[in-house]
């Protein structure tokens, strides 16, 4: 699943003189993608990530000839079900499929199939070692650095259209009100009957465009997706009643014409993305509880109670909202809904400020019967990343734990190893985000190289002893505030002037203006 992100760098950066690349932008033209790729490789290595696979991993890859077979398993044959994938237009690493079935008395069965990556990537292999080192695919502005070789992640372990694949199926039966009645996990052979894209599915679901041809080509699929959408909407409504937050993360993706970077395009959420997100949240809850019920250890994904709640309270007050002095997810959600209704155009900036003040997510090790923190933003207690094993190593770990639990085998990892892996995955995910952020800023510096001296409206997205960072809306990029920053806090708005760009190091510097 392709994901482009823009975020504020909270690492300290020294002020550098203007790069030669800034003054040479008129001559780099066709070299922009290659330059960004070189920057990405350099930054990855500096942050302890491997941009390329080792010869040993490539040798192992050469020996893998076909997708995993169900011949040695008790896998069910579910290929006839109306499975489909919904992802980005350009996604090639398809981790999950979904399908719905109407049940008696208004209940609905939702099945989510997850690519069986662990069947072809055994622990201790060279391919596994690469995935374990990076722990995630790295999505930079110029190139994707996949966690697994593309022969696997986009082919043999991807749930591709018209291909028969082995999968781990999460079965969930929901009552008419959207509450989970029963759940089960098992292996199955599945077949993707339609490769769909978020944007075209969303406008159809919203009633502003006709049904996509890939849906109408499969009898019954349109009704099936509508049923999935209805259940997903119920799941979201229930989570929001318990305090799940209605946040919008401003994102931008690079736009290239051939090898030339021409702009940054906004990448917003929509009804199809929310459909998949809601089904994945439910699935990740089921897998976490399954391991707990089997008395297995696990790695959970948590977002702790916000450390800077007092600043969120102040931010709400600046937007004519009131929050209690103690962290309260339901109260924050009510404020966010009201703020979006009052100012839908400015809401993404407010949302980004709240996200920054909430703090980052992390992976934590949990023993059976433990009591780790839940996910504050999603308002869920049990949450284990398990639905994207082609691009996240914690999901591969969870898949191995699940398959061992299903087969009645002991956990494939010792507790000490799982605890160390949770910490390692958190660190490497942070490193990958910093790489993505820095390369994204290098791309933005390319675009802004001829705009030095121009003024922009901006919002503060980061403020600490290390410095102040601001975000401008067009193009949607962030940079460091070199002067005029006294007393500024996250969420404050100001006018800034662009004073410097540095493509090589991804620096974009502003100064505050009166």
What is the secondary structure of 440-508 as a DSSP string?
Answer: HHHHHHHHHTT-TT-EEEEEEEEEETTEEEEEETTTTEEEEEEES-TT--TT-EEEEEEEEEETTTTEE
User: What pLDDT does residue 429 have?
Assistant: 97
SS3 content of the chain, % helix, strand, coil (to 5): 40, 25, 40
pLDDT at 2 over 50: no
Q: What is the mean predicted confidence (pLDDT) over 62-74?
A: 84
d(CA 339, CA 348): 10
The C-alpha torsion from 478 through 484 and 486 to 487, rounded to 10°, is -60
* pLDDT band at residue 213 using 50, 70 and 90 as cut-offs: very high
* pLDDT band at residue 13 using 50, 70 and 90 as cut-offs: very low
User: What pLDDT does residue 250 have?
Assistant: 64
Greater confidence (30 vs 62) lies with: 62
Cis bond upstream, residue 224 (ω within 30):
no
d(CA 421, CA 137): 17
* Closest to 390 in 3D by CA, of 55, 139, 189, 35: 139
Greater confidence (25 vs 286) lies with: 286
d(CA 479, CA 462): 10
pLDDT at 229 over 90: yes
181 neighbors 107 (Cβ within 8 angstroms)? yes
SS3 210: coil
Q: What is the mean predicted confidence (pLDDT) over 282-299?
A: 95
Write out the two tokens for 508: 């974009």
**10 Å Cβ neighbour count for 217?**
11
* pLDDT band at residue 218 using 50, 70 and 90 as cut-offs: very high
Separation of first and last alpha carbons in the chain: 43
pLDDT at 302 over 60: yes
* pLDDT band at residue 11 using 50, 70 and 90 as cut-offs: very low
pLDDT at 51 over 80: yes
pLDDT in tens, 127-144: 999 999 999 999 998 899
For 60, the enclosing helix (H) or strand (E) is: helix 55-63
Greater confidence (274 vs 31) lies with: 274
Q: What is the mean predicted confidence (pLDDT) over 250-257?
A: 74
User: What pLDDT does residue 304 have?
Assistant: 81
* pLDDT band at residue 31 using 50, 70 and 90 as cut-offs: low
**10 Å Cβ neighbour count for 448?**
23
User: What pLDDT does residue 9 have?
Assistant: 25
Greater confidence (487 vs 500) lies with: 500
pLDDT at 73 over 70: no
User: What pLDDT does residue 379 have?
Assistant: 66
Q: What is the mean predicted confidence (pLDDT) over 8-12?
A: 28
pLDDT at 258 over 80: no
pLDDT at 370 over 70: yes
d(CA 3, CA 139): 7
Q: Which residue has the tokens 């069965």?
A: 109
User: CA-based angle 501:507:508, to the nearest 5?
Assistant: 55
d(CA 67, CA 160): 11
For 352, the enclosing helix (H) or strand (E) is: helix 347-358
**10 Å Cβ neighbour count for 168?**
29
Greater confidence (507 vs 462) lies with: 507
Name residues whose C-beta falls within 8 Å of residue 302's C-beta, 6 or more positions apart in sequence: 361, 362, 363, 364, 372, 373, 374, 375, 383
User: What pLDDT does residue 12 have?
Assistant: 30
Single pTM value for the model: 0.87
Q: What is the mean predicted confidence (pLDDT) over 303-315?
A: 87
* Closest to 94 in 3D by CA, of 36, 167, 6, 170: 167
User: What pLDDT does residue 25 have?
Assistant: 36
CA 64 → CA 124, 147, 158, 464, distances in Å? 16, 17, 14, 49
Please enumerate, as own/partner, the contacts of 208-212 that have beta carbons within 8 Å and a separation of 24 or more. Answer: none
pLDDT at 66 over 60: yes
Q: What is the mean predicted confidence (pLDDT) over 149-157?
A: 97
pLDDT at 18 over 90: no
Query: What's the number of CA atoms in the CB half-sphere (13 Å) around residue 312?
Result: 25
Least confident span in 228-237, 250-259, 419-428: 250-259
Greater confidence (455 vs 377) lies with: 455
Average pLDDT, the chain: 88
250 neighbors 354 (Cβ within 8 angstroms)? no
479 neighbors 510 (Cβ within 8 angstroms)? yes
* pLDDT band at residue 263 using 50, 70 and 90 as cut-offs: confident
Greater confidence (17 vs 243) lies with: 243
- What is the DSSP secondary structure assignment for residue 305, as one 8-state letter? S
pLDDT in tens, 371-426: 766 777 776 778 899 999 999 999 999 999 999 999 999 999 999 999 999 999 99
265 neighbors 275 (Cβ within 8 angstroms)? no
Least confident span in 67-81, 103-117, 423-437: 67-81
User: What pLDDT does residue 358 have?
Assistant: 83
Write out the two tokens for 502: 């540095």
Greater confidence (327 vs 185) lies with: 185
pLDDT at 266 over 90: no
* Closest to 267 in 3D by CA, of 353, 198, 169, 368: 198
Q: What is the mean predicted confidence (pLDDT) over 221-237?
A: 97
pLDDT in tens, 194-208: 999 999 999 999 999
Compute and round to an integer the Cα radius of gyration of the chain: 23
């Amino acid at each position: 699943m392709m994901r482009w992100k823009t975020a504020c760098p909270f690492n300290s950066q020294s002020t550098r003189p203007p790069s030669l690349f800034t003054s040479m932008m008129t001559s780099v033209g066709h070299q922009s993608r290659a330059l960004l790729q070189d920057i990405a490789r350099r930054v990855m290595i500096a942050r302890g990530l491997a941009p390329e696979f080792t010869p040993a991993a490539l040798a192992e890859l050469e020996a893998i000839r076909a997708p995993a077979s169900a011949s040695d398993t008790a896998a069910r044959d579910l290929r006839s079900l109306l499975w489909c994938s919904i992802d980005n237009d350009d996604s090639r690493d398809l981790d999950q499929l979904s399908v719905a079935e109407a049940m008696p008395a208004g209940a609905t069965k939702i099945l989510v199939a997850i690519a069986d990556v662990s069947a072809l990537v055994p622990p201790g292999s060279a391919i596994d070692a690469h995935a374990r080192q990076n722990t995630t695919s790295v999505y930079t502005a110029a190139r994707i650095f996949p966690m697994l070789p593309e022969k696997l992640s986009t082919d043999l372990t991807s749930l591709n259209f018209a291909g028969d694949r082995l999968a781990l199926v999460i079965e969930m039966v929901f009552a008419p009100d959207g509450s989970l009645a029963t759940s089960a996990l098992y292996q199955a052979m599945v077949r993707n009957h339609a490769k769909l894209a978020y944007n075209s599915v969303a406008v159809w679901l919203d009633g502003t465009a006709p049904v996509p041809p890939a849906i109408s080509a499969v009898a019954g699929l349109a009704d099936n997706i509508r049923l999935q959408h209805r259940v997903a909407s119920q799941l979201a409504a229930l989570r929001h009643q318990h305090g799940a937050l209605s946040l919008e993360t401003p994102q931008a993706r690079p736009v290239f014409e051939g090898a030339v970077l021409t702009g940054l395009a906004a990448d917003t959420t929509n009804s199809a993305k929310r459909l998949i997100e809601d089904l994945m949240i439910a699935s990740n809850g089921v897998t976490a509880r399954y391991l707990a019920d089997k008395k297995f250890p696990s790695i959970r994904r948590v977002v702790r109670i916000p450390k800077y709640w007092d600043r969120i309270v102040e931010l709400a007050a600046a937007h004519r909202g009131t929050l209690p002095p103690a962290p309260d997810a339901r109260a924050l959600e009510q404020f966010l809904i009201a703020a979006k209704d009052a100012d839908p155009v400015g809401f993404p900036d407010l949302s980004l400020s709240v996200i920054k003040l909430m703090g980052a997510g992390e992976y934590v090790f949990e023993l059976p019967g433990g009591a780790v923190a839940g996910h504050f933003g999603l308002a869920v207690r049990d949450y284990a990343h398990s639905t994207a094993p082609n691009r996240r190593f914690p999901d591969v770990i969870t898949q191995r734990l699940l398959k061992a639990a299903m087969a009645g085998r002991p956990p494939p990892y010792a507790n000490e190893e799982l605890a160390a892996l949770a910490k390692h995955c958190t660190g490497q995910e942070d490193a990958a985000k910093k790489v993505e952020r820095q390369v994204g800023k290098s791309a933005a510096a390319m675009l802004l190289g001829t705009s030095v001296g121009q003024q922009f409206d901006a919002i503060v997205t980061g403020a600490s002893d290390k410095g102040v960072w601001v975000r401008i809306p067009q193009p949607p990029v962030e940079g460091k505030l070199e002067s005029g920053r006294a007393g500024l806090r996250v969420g404050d708005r100001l006018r800034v002037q662009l004073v410097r760009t540095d493509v090589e190091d991804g620096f974009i510097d502003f100064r505050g203006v009166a």
